[in-house]
Amino acid sequence: MNPSLSRAVASAPTRLLFANPRAVFRGYPVSGISVTYIHTHTRLHSRSHIQTQFCQRNPRISLTSFSTSSTKKSSMASTTDLIESAKRAACRQAVADHFSPTFTYVGIGSGSTVAYVVEAIAELGASVTSKMKFVPTGSGSTALIKNAGMAVLQVPDLLTEVGYDPETTEHQPIDIYFDGADEVDAELNCIKGGGACHFQEKLVSRLSKRFICVADSRKKVDRLLTSWAYVPVEVTPVGAEFVRRELLRIGSKDPKIRTSGPTFIRTITDNHNHIIDAPFPKLLLNSEKDKLDPANGLWTPDALLAKIKSIFGVLEVGIFTGFNGPDVAKLGTEIEGVKPVKAYFGRSDGQVETLG
């Protein structure tokens, strides 16, 4: 690495930890700036240098020969920047509206957007965050919390720490839970699980007083499965093919066991399970249950969730619907509360739209 760049990295302020949140989310920090961030700049410089030398040695080829590719990449970079700015704006507004220095336990989700939530919380300083413990929903969010210098408390350790007395134990010990979503409909029902963490996300949500959803405006839809094509289903590996066939039987179009990498190895969750991505037609709202007609592919989020969960071998389904945290506090502990109380959607114009 260039010595001057090395000195810059070594002296980088803590806030630059999130200069490239996706890279940090994967756990590759180097003195506050991610490896990807440094290498990107190195590669860009090297590419420009190589192109210039190539043209000098080949007079009939000008630098404009590279312009089309460069323009496309520049446009893609600009779009990515707008999306990331929208995510950051949503997260900062959500933290400003709902985060309190009095919190003891804070849930941190697994979506890439949540990197900006952690960024905003970390900026409050150790005088605030050192009094709290942060509960992750997977290995990615665990790395995020650690990289920000904040205390990680896994769910089993949280439950041990709060103890259990049937008469007095707080059923929702986590003060607030921040996470993203793949889609959010007009009733705040969500599709989650694109990152294969929806079981732990549901667990943390059930233990939380409030779930605050953060996303960019692309994730806001009238009805689920409008843009996002499938329902993620976590299954036991030995039962994966059985579940896939049952999903076909109830109307899913070509459900596939998720694979990753160039060799298409089956994706393994943090719980050592597999994921089936099950496409279904666009869902109704729960308020439209009078139109429910599974034989013709018309499902409400509540009905489809219940049907898929009834399949033998299914651990959890990436539909977050039903009640939210405050509902549980009123109705009783046997109720599942996994729906957000509010969603924040960052827009490309810098504004933040809310729902709930």
Distance CA 95, CA 273 (A): 33
- Choose between 163 and 335: higher pLDDT: 163
Distance CA 270, CA 112 (A): 17
Task: Reply yes or no on whether the pLDDT at 280 is more than 80.
Answer: yes
By residue count, the chain amounts to: 356
Predicted pLDDT at 36 = 31
Look at strands 176-179 and 183-184 and give their pairing. Answer: unpaired
What is the pTM assigned to this prediction? 0.78
pLDDT level of residue 127 (50, 70, 90 thresholds)? very high
Distance CA 289, CA 263 (A): 43
Task: Reply yes or no on whether the pLDDT at 11 is more than 70.
Answer: no
The sheet with strand 183-184 has its strands ordered as 183-184, 190-191, 319-320
Determine which one of 183, 201, 234, 316 is catalytic.
201
Span 322-346, pLDDT tens digits = 999 999 999 887 788 999 999 999 9
Tell me, yes or no, if 187 is annotated catalytic: no
Give the Cβ contact number of residue 207 at 10 Å.
22
Averaged over 74-80, what is the pLDDT?
69
Distance CA 261, CA 4 (A): 36
Distance CA 3, CA 38 (A): 13
pLDDT level of residue 7 (50, 70, 90 thresholds)? very low
Query: Where do the domains of the chain lie?
Result: 81-355
- Helices assigned H by DSSP within 192-341: 198-206, 240-249, 301-309, 325-331
Rounded percentage of the chain residues whose pLDDT exceeds 90:
71
Contact in structure between 20 and 36 (CB atoms under 8 Å): yes
Surface-to-core class of residue 221, CB atoms within 10 Å of its CB (0-12 exposed, 13-18 middle, 19+ buried): middle
User: According to the per-residue pLDDT averaged within each range, which of 31-35, 111-115, 187-191 is highest?
Assistant: 187-191
Contact in structure between 98 and 212 (CB atoms under 8 Å): yes
Is the domain defined by 81-355 classed in CATH 3.40.50.1360?
yes
